[in-house]
Structure 1
Amino acid sequence: MGVINALNETSNKAFDSGEKYVKASQEYYKLKAFQQLARAFSFLSKLAIIGGLLFLGLIFLTVSGAIWLGQLIGSTALACLIVAAALFTITGIAYLIRQKIDKNIIRKMSQEFFD
């Protein structure tokens, strides 16, 4: 009977240890998920604020550049066309290197996510 009681006690301890491990793992993954969500929300918030302000600045810079160029060459319409062509050229270059941009984003996000 002593052996059976010892085995029963040992199995109960193992069960309790396993239960504690599962609970600790659940808590860890909850905290990890919260951390990732908080980082993602923080990143998106900063991106929206900084990106929005940067976009507004770019609009004002483009308009003022077109006006300045129009005064310089004597034609506001031609200046607007030149500025538009420059923006389309930059957009085309960004489109051509989009895969490199994707790879960099995925690499940085995977480092952050799997850290």
Structure 2
Amino acid sequence: MSIFNSLNETSSHAVDTGEKLFKKSYEYYRLKIFQQVSVSISMVLKAILIGGLALIGLFFMAIALAFLIGALIANYAAGFVIVGGLFVLLSVILYLTRNMINKSVVQKLSKTFFK
């Protein structure tokens, strides 16, 4: 009968240990998910704020550059066309290098996400 009691105690202890492991793993992954979500939201918020301000600055600088070029060539419309052409050229260059940009973003985010 003692073997059965010993076996019963051992199996009870194994079940208790398994439950503790499950609870601790659950808590760990819950905290890990919270960390990743907070880092992601923080990153997106910073990108929106900094990007928005940079976009406004770029907008005003483009207008100023268009007026400057227009004044230099005595044709404001041509100045705006030239600045617009520069932005189109930059867009085409970024489009052609989009795979390199994607790769870089994935590498940087994977370092943050899987640490």
Normalising TM by the smaller chain, what interval? over 0.9
Does residue 78 of structure 1 match 2:78?
Answer: yes
User: Counterpart of 2:79 in structure 1: which amino acid?
Assistant: A
Does residue 91 of structure 1 match 2:102?
Answer: no
Superimposed CA distance per residue, residues 50-104 of structure 1 (whole angstroms, 9 cap, x where no aligned partner): 0000000000000001011111111100000100111100000000000000011
5+ residue gaps, structure 1, are none
Could you list the runs of 4 or more consecutive aligned residues of structure 1 that deviate by over 3 angstroms after TM superposition? none
User: Counterpart of 1:54 in structure 2: which amino acid?
Assistant: A
The whole-number CA distance in structure 2 between the counterparts of 1:43 and 1:111 is 14
The whole-number CA distance in structure 2 between the counterparts of 1:43 and 1:86 is 29
5+ residue gaps, structure 2, are none
The whole-number CA distance in structure 2 between the counterparts of 1:58 and 1:111 is 31
**Which residue of the partner structure matches residue 27 of structure 1?**
27
Q: What TM-score do the two structures reach when normalised by structure 2? A: 0.98
Q: Percent identity?
A: 42
Give the superposition deviation at 1:110.
1.3
